Structure 1
Amino acid sequence: MGSTDNWLTHEHSLYENLISRCMEAIEVEDWQTTDVLFMKMVAHLKRHMALEEEVLYSAYEAASHAPQGPTVALREEHDDIVRLVTDMAQVIKSRNSDLVLDCMTRLEDRMIKHHEKEEDFFLPMASHILDASREEISQQLDTFDMSKSDRKWDI
């Protein structure tokens, strides 16, 4: 979590890339690769959301001068994405490539819109508001223990 103003932004492209690769595997009905790529994305996404919700959003919400609406909306979007990912895990099992591609496209669209909100609005604002605590927050991000994560996934 180095020196850029947009903390965690680099991970968004990872998920978008994994979804694209997963869609390519679905198109040729390579279900083994689809399963591997999808679960890899889920594992990374679980950690990413936990870091945002439990470290970054929480630090932002604790800042007395921070507007309190943005993280409520971002947490709700995380809930929606988790539901879509959980549904996607079941849809993939159908091995119906048209259905799986349609659902994966919806997931991809939802994630891209969420990433854009974070990258274009929230992260620059949070970086400014939390600048005085940046080293402490960066340390928390670097040492976060996933086994203590609050969010429980059904995957």
Structure 2
Amino acid sequence: MESIRDLMTDDHRQCDDCFVAVEQSVASGEWGNATTQFDQLRDAMRRHFAVEESILFPAFEARTGMSMGPTQVMRGEHAQMKELMAAAGDAMAARDADDYSGYAETLLIMMQQHNMKEENILYPMCDQHLAAQLETLVPQLERGINATEPMP
């Protein structure tokens, strides 16, 4: 049985790979590819956030009684990253490499810090507190992450 930490960390790496692909296309001036890859990045991040906010965080909060703790911080960071993604998307649509790069750099720093907190603190806590639910919870998370439709 895969752990929450392993599953969700793997999804972070998938998002990182999408981010790198966008960066390479923007740097090469391949705006058509960059736009397609940016859409994939945005969709992957939306699915990741949605899975956490609709499945993982509520399960953790119900089990621990902590609703104003680490999950609340992560939700706030998700909102900030969504705003950065929207701004980066506007820059992408305008084919403004400088603006895109500025938003992308800020987003990258935030993603790295956010992922470290989840991977080293929150996910291990989830594995510990939700151990009895892993058999049903992990497949739910996998289905959400691997969904083909974009999330709002």
Q: Normalising to structure 1: TM-score of the pair? A: 0.85
Give the Cα–Cα distance (whole angstroms) in 1 for the partners of residues 61 and 72 of structure 2: 9
* Residue 35 (structure 1) aligns with: 35
Unpaired runs of 5+ residues, structure 1, are none
1:53-91 CA distance string (max 9 Å, x none): 111001001014557400000010111111111111111
Aligned match of 1:135: 135
Matched to 2:120, the amino acid is D
Residue 52 of structure 2 corresponds to which residue in structure 1? 52
Count of matched residue pairs: 149
CA distance in 1, matches of 2:113, 2:9: 13
Return the alpha-carbon distance in structure 2 between the equivalents of residues 39 and 13 of structure 1.
Answer: 17
**8 Å contact 1:27–1:101 — kept in the other structure?**
no
TM-score, normalised via structure 2 length: 0.87
CA distance in 2, matches of 1:144, 1:22: 23
Matches within 5 A, 1:61-100: 61-64=61-64, 66=66, 68-100=68-100
3-state SS of paired residue (2:59): helix
Greater mean alpha carbon deviation, residues 19-28 or residues 29-38: 19-28
Q: Deviations over 1:25-75 (max 9, x none)?
A: 111211001101100111111211111111100100101455740000001
Aligned equivalents of 2:47, 2:80: Cα separation in 1: 16
Contact 2:3–2:127, Cα closer than 8 Å, also in 1: no
- Is the contact between residue 91 and residue 97 of structure 2 (CA under 8 Å) also seen in structure 1? no
In the aligned structure 1, how far is the partner of 2:142 from the partner of 2:17?
23
> Tell me, what secondary structure is at the counterpart of 1:3?
coil
Q: Give the whole-Å Cα distance in 1 for the aligned partners of 2:132 and 2:91.
A: 45
More helix by share: 2
Q: Percent identity?
A: 24
Where 1:95 maps in the other structure, the secondary structure is: coil
Structure 2: give runs of 5+ residues left out of the alignment: none
CA contact (8 A) 2:4 2:126 kept: no
Following superposition, the deviation at residue 139 of structure 1 comes to: 3.4
**8 Å CA contact 1:16, 1:112 repeated in 2:** no
